Structure 1
Amino acid sequence: MSREKILLIMHQERSDPGRVGEMLRTLGYELDMRIPAIGHDLPDDPTEHHGAVIFGGPMSANDDHEEFIRDETKYVEKLLKSEVPFLGICLGAQILARVLGSEVRRHPEGLMEIGYYTIEPTEAGSPYFDKHLHAYQWHKEGFDLPKDCDLLASGNYFPNQAFRFGRQAYGIQFHPEVTEAMNRKWLRKAAHMLSEPGAQSAKEQLADRQRHDAEMNNWAWRFLDHWTKLGQKVTA
């Protein structure tokens, strides 16, 4: 019997699902990785997959001039109607927020979150976060909390850090997928962004990684174990 597939939507030719991909494989799922930005098609039927994840990228959820952003936005609409488990990470969360009617925008003071920042669970988020989390971030835009959604975690610079819509759709602003190799690559490839307001230096980020990555890893295991079970069919 073939394993159930999870659709992973990424945004650059060399994008890596990192720790999230590794964990999903370990949990027994086959990964179907697609990059619409370089011409990959999205499935016609969302129910072909057990779940779907949209990862981050350097583009904006507001880039309606990009065909792949329009396609991904329409696909999220299909996912929500089909009730297939969905997880949006950073850009993916921002696309989800837009689909649900909220705005995605820059911080009013031009601040960014690049590095480790503490996020705090809300009461609704207590099943997902047992305490505050030192979360790895890399983004310049945030989103308003959509109507009829539960805020699960908040932060200082960008107040909306994790939310849930219905039972099976989640958006998180931070990056649990980032491995140390990915962290070092981002720091090298996007070094120009480390001078932006709010960004932490490469030295600070790597030091914080030593302190906080085990915590991030543990959170990702717990969350993905919960999320993948949302799509399991109940038999009589």
Structure 2
Amino acid sequence: MTTASPDFPDTIYAIQHLAFEDLGALEDIFYQLGFRVRYFEAGVDDLSKAFQHKGLTIILGGPIGVYETEDYPFLQQEIDLLKVRLKENLPTLGICLGAQLIAHALGAKVYAGHQKEIGWSPLSLSNTEHNLLAPLMDTPVLHWHGDTFDLPEQAELLASSAIYPNQAFAMGKNILALQFHIEVAADSLEKWLIGHTCELRKANISIPALRADNQRYAHAVEVQAQAVLQAYLQQISAI
């Protein structure tokens, strides 16, 4: 049974920037809640339908930066469509690059951070009323990014990490941006380790250690991610 109202669209639209960075564990949760999922490939598909969707649209991660519009012209169209979506306050969840795109579309600066943040570590949750990320308290989550962003004006900071102060924010009830990877699935991180091998080796990240931490922490994140997702869906379905 879905936790959304009967009038809330039952299809989740997900925009991918990299084939193996999909909805991961979130996809099964959506199916269990009675939703369908449709993917759009950034740079290949026309993203207009995804950004005009009245239900939930999720913008997933990827290795490019929001400022690389000259090399990846499709990014500018994506940003322009996202600006319209956010102005209309349509339900939008951004993960990693998706969070950076939301921050940029809201007028905040997105830029290369002072160091790569790749690995598992807990969040420091903001002391805000009804913090959607409360289930993740004391739960190590997967960080995998080099860029960071300033907090958009009027956004509510939800979480920080030891390395970067802005790890998650909300804009009202419908817009949620997560720099970390809440979608990671315990049984599929290996494709990330393969696909990102150049980045990992350049950053001197231990692949065996990442793999071991995935087995240690990912199952707990999957459980807590469901609680976060259900709370978010209950919140946005009132639109």
TM-score category of the 2 structures, normalised to the smaller one: 0.7 to 0.9
User: Taking structure 2 as the reference length, what is the TM-score of the superposition?
Assistant: 0.87
Counterpart of 1:85 in structure 2 is 91
| CA distance, structure 2, for counterparts of residue 178 and residue 44 of structure 1 | 22
CA contact (8 A) 1:163 1:170 kept: yes
TM-superposed deviation, 1:59: 0.9
Helix, strand or coil at the partner of 2:49:
coil
CA contact (8 A) 2:126 2:157 kept: yes
- CA deviations over 1:61-96 (Å, ceiling 9, x no partner): 112222321122122222222222110000000000
Change (3 A) 1:7 1:192: same
| CA distance, structure 2, for counterparts of residue 144 and residue 8 of structure 1 | 24
Q: How does 1:88-99 map to 2 (within 5 A)?
A: 88-99=94-105
TM-superposed deviation, 1:49: 3.7
Query: Percent same amino acid at aligned positions?
Result: 27
Helix, strand or coil at the partner of 2:119:
strand
Q: 1:180 aligns with which of 186, 196, 200?
A: 186
Helix, strand or coil at the partner of 1:34:
strand
| CA distance, structure 2, for counterparts of residue 115 and residue 15 of structure 1 | 16
Counterpart of 1:212 in structure 2 is 217
Change (3 A) 1:13 1:40: farther
Helix, strand or coil at the partner of 1:230:
helix
CA contact (8 A) 2:56 2:91 kept: yes
Q: 1:143 aligns with which of 145, 149, 155?
A: 149
Counterpart of 2:13 in structure 1 is 7
Counterpart of 1:68 in structure 2 is 74
Q: How does 1:153-172 map to 2 (within 5 A)?
A: 153-172=159-178
Q: 2:116 aligns with which of 93, 100, 112?
A: 112
- Total equivalences in the alignment: 230
Counterpart of 2:34 in structure 1 is 28
Change (3 A) 1:209 1:185: same
| CA distance, structure 2, for counterparts of residue 11 and residue 221 of structure 1 | 23
Structure 1 spans left out of the alignment, 5+ residues: none
Shifted more, 153-162 versus 118-127: the winner is: 118-127
User: Taking structure 1 as the reference length, what is the TM-score of the superposition?
Assistant: 0.88
Structure 2 spans left out of the alignment, 5+ residues: 1-5
Instruction: Output the amino acid matched with 2:192.
Output: W
Change (3 A) 1:41 1:163: closer
RMSD over aligned CA atoms reads 2.3
